[in-house]
Structures are given as C-alpha cells and as structure tokens.
Structure 1
C-alpha cells in the first residue's frame, strides 16, 4: 500500500462508497466528504496528498463552475495538493480549463477502475516528486545558510580600512570580476566574503578555492568536475567548483600560482561562461560572480612571461588593494582587544588585559605577517599567560629584517636595528630592560623601532 492521504469530495454517497472501497486497498488513508464546505474544517487538510473533487454539487447544474471554484479554494489553501476533477458531463474545454486552474488530471463518470487507479497513481507520483524537490530545495537552502554562516569579522576604524570597505560596497552591487591584492595575512578573503555578503547573490553560496593547493593534474577535475571513469580514481560523476558556485560567488585565492597551461583553461571558462567536465564533450553554462586574490605582482609576472595578460584583464575589471596592518593606523590595538576577548572565551581565561608597555610594543611592531600574525600572537599570549596582566615579554615578536653577523650591517639604520634586536633578545623581549641596556628611554626605543619598520 502506498503511504498517501486521499480525500474524495462528492455529493453522491454511492460514488463516495465506491471510491473508498476501490482506493482503500491501494492507499493507507482514504477519507470522504459529501459537502465541499467541509474542506476548510477537514482535519489534517494540509497533510493531504490527493483530492478527488466532483465538479457539480447543485441539482440540475452541470457547468462545472462549482468544481472550478472549490479547486481554486483548495489550491489557495494548499497549493501542494494534487487535485483530480470528476464529472458525469465531460467536455474537452472544461477539462482544459480545470488543468489551467491547477488540476492535475480529469476523470469522467462512470469511470473505468483501472484507468482511475492509474490516474490517481500518476497524481501520487507527481505529489511525491514535488515533495522530494521541496525537501532537496530546503536542504540546499539550509546548506547555503551553513556555508555562508561562517562568522567573519572585519575589525578596524582606520581611514585605510574604511576606504577599502567603501569601494567594496560600491562594487558589490555589480557582477564585475574583482581582483583583490595585498600581502599575506591582510584579510583578502574577508573582503571577498564582504563583496558576496552585500551583493544580490548573498543568499547563494560562496565557494572559496585555494589555487596554490591544487596540483596541475587535478586542476580541471577540481574546477570543472568529471564524469565517472574519466580517469583512474573517478568512481562517480562529480561537479567542480564552478558548478558548485553556480548562482553564487566563486573566490579563487592565490591566482598567481597557476601555470600558463592552467591559466589558458581558466580563461576559456571565464570568457565563455561555460565549463566542460573531464571525460565529457558537453558544455555546461555557469552563472558566477568571480573574485580572485593574490599577493603577487601580476603585472610584473605578465612582463616576465609568467602570467597571461588577457587573463589579467579578465579578472581585474575592478582591483581592490587591502592595506597591510602597519598602514592601518589605530587598528592594531582594536584588533588586539578583539582577539584577546575571543581567545579568553575560547580558552576559559577571563579578566586578562594588556598593559600600557605591551600596547606600545604591539603598536611599534611592523607586523610583517599582518592580521594573521597578530591573531596568532594574541592566541599564544593568552594560552601561556600566568597572570591577569599581559606584559611586553608575553608577546613574542620576530624581527622583520634579518641582518647577518658575518656580513654585518651596511647602514647606520641596520646597525641600530641590530643593536636593538640583540638587546631585546638578551632581555627576553623585555622592552624596558632593553631600553635601559641601550641607554635610552622605553618610548625612544619604540619610536626607533617604528621608524625602522620593525
């Protein structure tokens, strides 16, 4: 027996009895009512799968208008229900009208049992497929929400950051390709996600691909997908990243790591807005917003013959340069406070604070690893903290310029930097002790480090 909820509506009790007897051997739940006015109060109405509805209820009336009226009412209250119309006065134009109004099929009285059962089974199959489509759509929407829910924060109040965010929000309203440039750790993916979040594609997926982690042999399979048997490990059909991002945003990070051969394949997909799975010759159209990012100088790579000029023109209709942390005046301490609170919560350490001397050390440092380095520095400090006050020695920072003792410094600035770094090393990163050893004030030490870009 099929697990379906069926309701028969007819003013003829003999018809109701005959259909109930016929259908109860095929379907689990079959109910009948003789008055269509009972539809709205029928228990479990929203759970019905199929309704068999008579088209005429008043004596001497055979226009079918009553049935069409109740068809509209059913569809208004529960559009998902498959409705099969029944009448003893069959007419092609009436059947066509009923189908146009949303009926799934039409039965003439007296009916042929086998034909009626086939019609009901077809209506049930339609209802079942609609249910599956709805469930898949719901799962897809939930998946998109989960993917896009990844919490990302753009923290800061500097003019440099505000300038980038203003440009980002202007560009997000369009579908132009965007190239995001900047040093490692500056937050290029965060800007890409902000472009997606504020775009008309925000309810669709954001797919991020690290191009540097994809080997050349797997490039086409990863980006364009493959068919079962296309190569040794292709055990099933698989969609690539372009198809997965269809309707949404595709973010290609480290675009400068691609070989010239893979650049040509990527260019073709971008130009034609179609991809071909490995092992297939069928073109599949894709609708994506393309965002790329790199820390490489692509223009220099073009000059050196390492990057295709036509691909560069394709991916950088708009270019957004994310500033390094050292150029985001005032943001270092804001970010430090943000990460301090995050890691206090993560590691169950409450009430930590960064003292003035440590704050000065953090702001004087040049942060060659940018925001990522700051994040890791704060995490390490919180994990290793033994008191509620984080002091300069709790923050282990590396020198941004390495000067060999064998070759020695070449300039007075390098000499100063070497002496400062040696003093800090000898005093385990304690700025006050290092300043005293050098015979200068702690503030002078910070100022010198800032001037020297360390």
Structure 2
C-alpha cells in the first residue's frame, strides 16, 4: 500500500500536474482547490504528506497550516510557493512546515522532495519506538538448536516470511513465540520498517483502543496531546499481537474491523487513517476451543488463522539442551563476571531428564541461577541443589524429593509417574514448588517462571490456590 498524499492548491494546472507525477509513482493522491474542502477532508482522514499552496483564494495558507498542525502535528507539509513569496515560505517553516518547493519546479524535484519527507516521517515514527526496542533487545536470545523440531519450524518460517499472510503462532509459554515472530519480520520484505510487539495480556481494557489505535488530544481526562497507536507505529511493518486470547470478547470486534478494513480512527476522532501492517498473533491457549466456549470470536479466529505454526516445547527438543546451556552460560557468565563456566556430563544428563514445564524461558532462568551459585568452573550436581532448581540426582524432581505433591503436601510418585501425569497437573505442581521456594512472593515467582503476574494470578485462581504456607 502506497502513501496517501493530499494536494491543496487552487491552481488547477499545478494541482493536476503534481497529481499525475505522483500517481505514476503509485501514490494515492487526493486533490482539493479550496481551504474549506481541505479542512473537511482533514477531519475525516489522515494523510502521509500534504502539498500546500500558501496563496489560496478562500483562506490564508498560513492559517490553513496552523489548522493542519492542530489536527496532525507530525504529517509532513511541503509548501508550494512562488518566487515572490519566499518570505512567506520561511514563515511557514517557522509555523511547522517541513519543506517548500518554489514555482516552477520539475517533476524530479517534486518526487525527490516528496520521497525525502516521507522517509523523514517514517524515521520519526520509528524513533518513537527506538528506546523501548533497544531495551527489549538487551534481553533477547537467539533461536538456538539443531533438533528436527527446530529445523522444521525454521523451514516453515523461511517459506512463509516473504509472503504478506497473517500468521498465528501457537505454543506453550516460554517456547519463543516472540522470537519466531521477529524472525518472520526480519526475513520479510517489511524488514526495514517497524516490528511493533503488543502484549495483549497487559492491555488495560479501558485503554485498549488508545493503545492500539491512538487518541486525539482531549479525548479523555489526561489526553493532553495526540497519540499514535500501535497500528500507526507499525505502518508498513509488522504488528505482533502476543497473547491474543487475553483480549476481551467485546473488544475483539474492534480489532477485527481494523484488521479487515486496514483503517483505524483514534479515540476521540472521526478521522480515518489507512494502515498497512502485517499481523502476527500468538497464543498459548487453544483458540478453537475458546471459539467453542464463546470467549473468542469465530470471525476473528479465521482472520488470524491464515497460516498457523506451532513452537515446540523444550521436552520435545531435548537434543538442543547442550547448545542452549552453552549459549546461556556464556551470556550470564559475561553478565555476572563468571566466564569459562561449563556443565559436567552428569548435569547435562539431569537437565535432559527434566521435563521443563516452563520451557526455554524456565531453562534460561535456571542457567542464570547456576551461574550465580556455581563456586567453580565445572558446574556439578551439587550446584543444582544449591541453586534450588527442581532437579536432583537420580532423575527425580524436587516434588518427590521433598514429599510434596501439591498444596495439600501429600506424597508424589516416582519420576516415571511424574512424566505420565497430565501436563496441567505437572505445571500446577511446579508452580506451587516455585511459589514455596519464593516464600509466597508472587512477583518473584512470576519472574522465575517467565510469566507476568496477571498470568500467574489466573493460573492460581484456576487451581483454587490462594495462599502457600
């Protein structure tokens, strides 16, 4: 989708000439000859760039520029001016215009000016995200592994990335769905545009629309300025909707409308903005079951489920554990000044026997704990015990070792019985163990598990767990 350009000029020859040149470059162009018409259009639509003649028959161009800036502080405005009004063009720049063209100008001069200002606009939008993105990348891990499961997943990614299809990534928590979404973006034609992640589990319902679609100044108490939403920030790039199942049913319709129509309007404004984004959604829940349960819209499910891929749990890619361990030991060794650490064969065996209900995220946290507690370069079974990891020599987990089966404190069975129990029960027992190890501190428990407090709270509520002694 090409950018939308509005030409405001009462000179038909200039207006038509500019429109022809720009349309040949596949821009979407709107033309108006009067300031009043322009103002009405700006109340309904947002544009990527405006060409404005300062000398209008019905309105002063500088006054119209002020109106444009009130409605949209960041849209590039290029002033069209005659030689005799250069001083006015300078005044316009002071009032917020971005550039100007002096009549007469050549088609190439017009295109260079337009493309330069569109690029500047895109860079400005990307810079709004830059600090947050840099912070996020500091904790980013690579996709490590040579197992069949990982190779199959990466082959799927390589094939679907060059397309523009919507992607639904499913998989358990901690399996790297966000990393896969970013890999898809980086291999796609949109790689030079923003990748905008949205954690849907943290969206406050009352601010849902503001976060995704933005808001206009004065739309609600505290809206002191216009704000761009995630859709606009991701324009021409990729919008990653993580934990999509956590969006309330009533708000799913608004998301569906934006995805289908590729248009959004900010809260408090009737102006429509076209957005060209690729949608990648992710969830650790069964959306098909959620549709049957009436908690997820069927039409939104089918709109998101164009191409579906699944990230494998760590227990299905045990061959990758040595490579993952080496990567994380190096990462956290550098972080904590403990370079040169390595795992003994016995520890690698123990790590490979454990089922890792928290997947790679849990594995990463465990490696950091081992780095912190290790007292020598060779990390052995004693270091595992000292660090408090739920793994023990002999292949048994700490639930059996401490005689803990759950909240009621009954005995658990052997390791083999642990493997055969339902996954939900395994998860429950592990969460309880971590919660006890954290002395009931839910913030610390969520950090170790690699989930947010809201997700932990939902799990405990589902299991009927209120307090841990």
TM-score by length of 1: 0.61
| Equivalent pair of 1:403/1:414 in contact (CA under 8 Å) | no
Name the SS of the counterpart of 1:330 in structure 2: helix
How has the CA–CA distance of structure 1 residues 243 and 417 changed in structure 2, closer, same or farther, with 3 Å as cutoff?
A: closer
The match for 1:223 among 212, 236, 239 is: 212
> How far has the Cα of 1:207 moved from its partner?
0.4
CA RMSD, aligned part only?
A: 3.2
Tell me, what secondary structure is at the counterpart of 2:228? Answer: coil
Distance 1:406 1:139, change over 3 A: closer
Contact 1:368 1:400 in 2 (8 A): no
| Structure 1 residue 417, shift from structure 2 partner | 9.7
Q: What is the aligned counterpart of 2:99 among 121, 129, 152? A: 129
| Structure showing greater Rg | 1
Q: Aligned partners of 1:147, 1:406: CA distance in 2, in Å?
A: 43
Structure 1 pair 413/370, CA: closer, same or farther in 2 (3 Å)? closer
- The Cα of 1:300 is off from its aligned counterpart by 0.9
C-alpha distance 390-310 of structure 1, shift in aligned 2 (>3 A): same
Does the Cα contact within 8 Å between 1:324 and 1:370 map onto a contact in 2?
yes
Post-superposition CA distance 1:119-177 (Å, at most 9, x none): 47648978972699476665556677777773541110001011111111111111111
Q: What is the count of residue pairs matched by the alignment?
A: 308
In structure 1, which of residues 371, 375, 391 is the aligned counterpart of residue 380 of structure 2? 391
Match of 1:403 among 377, 402, 405: 405
CA contact (8 A) 2:194 2:238 kept: yes
CA gap 1:367/1:245 in 2 versus in 1, 3 angstroms: same
How far the C-alpha of 1:369 sits from its partner, in A, is 0.5
Cross-structure match for 1:298: 287
CA distance in 2, matches of 1:336, 1:327: 16
Kindly tell me: are residues 145 and 211 of structure 1, through their superposed partners in 2, closer, same or farther at Cα, counting changes over 3 Å? closer
Aligned position for 2:226: 237
User: Could you tell me which residue of structure 2 aligns to residue 252 of structure 1?
Assistant: 241
**Deviations, residues 9-43 of structure 1 (Å, cap 9, x unaligned):** xxxxxxxxxxxxxxxxxxxxxxxxxxxxxxxxxxx
Q: What CA distance in whole angstroms lies between the structure 2 residues aligned with 1:386 and 1:317?
A: 51
Structure 1 distance, partners of 2:398, 2:272, is 50
Q: Is the 8 A contact 1:147 1:206 kept in 2?
A: no
Superposed, 1:31-430 pairs within 5 Å as: 115=84, 118-119=85-86, 122=89, 129=99, 133=117, 150=137, 152-395=141-384, 396-398=388-390, 399=397, 403-404=405-406, 413-414=416-417
**TM-score, with normalisation over the residues of structure 2?**
0.59
Shift of 1:357: 1.1
1:414 deviates by: 3.6
State the alpha-carbon separation in 2 of the partners of residues 235 and 119 from structure 1. 34
Q: Distance between the aligned counterparts of 2:88 and 2:415, measured in 1?
A: 90
Distance verdict in 2 for CA 1:171–1:216, change over 3 Å: same
Q: Distance in 2 between matches of 1:245 and 1:300?
A: 30
Which residue number in structure 1 is paired with residue 464 of structure 2?
none
| Correspondence for 1:45 | none
| Cα deviation 1:164-202 (Å, max 9, x = unaligned) | 111111111111110000000000000000000000000
Name the CA distance, whole Å, in 1 between partners of 2:389 and 2:357.
10
> Structure 1 residue 324: deviation in Å?
0.1
Quote how far apart the aligned CAs of 1:370 are.
0.5
User: For residues 268 and 282 of structure 2, what CA distance do their matches in structure 1 show?
Assistant: 29
Query: Per-residue deviation at 1:403?
Result: 2.3
* 1:330-385 Cα shifts (integer Å, max 9, x gaps): 10111010000011111111221111111111111111100001100011111122
Q: For the residues of structure 2 that align with 1:243 and 1:286, how far apart are their CA atoms?
A: 6
Please tell me whether the aligned partners of residues 171 and 312 of structure 2 are also in contact (alpha carbons under 8 angstroms).
yes
Instruction: Indicate conservation of the 8 Å contact 2:355/2:419, yes or no.
Output: no
Q: Does structure 2 conserve the Cα–Cα contact (< 8 Å) formed by 1:276 and 1:284? A: yes
Contact 1:148 1:206 in 2 (8 A): no
Deviation of the 1:413 alpha carbon: 4.8
The answer (yes or no) to whether the contact 2:168–2:308 under 8 Å persists in 1 is yes
> Do the aligned partners of residues 279 and 400 (structure 1) sit closer, same or farther apart at CA in structure 2, a change above 3 Å counting?
farther
How far apart are residue 276 of structure 1 and its match?
Answer: 1.4
Question: Could you tell me whether the CA contact under 8 Å between 1:147 and 1:205 is conserved in 2?
Answer: no
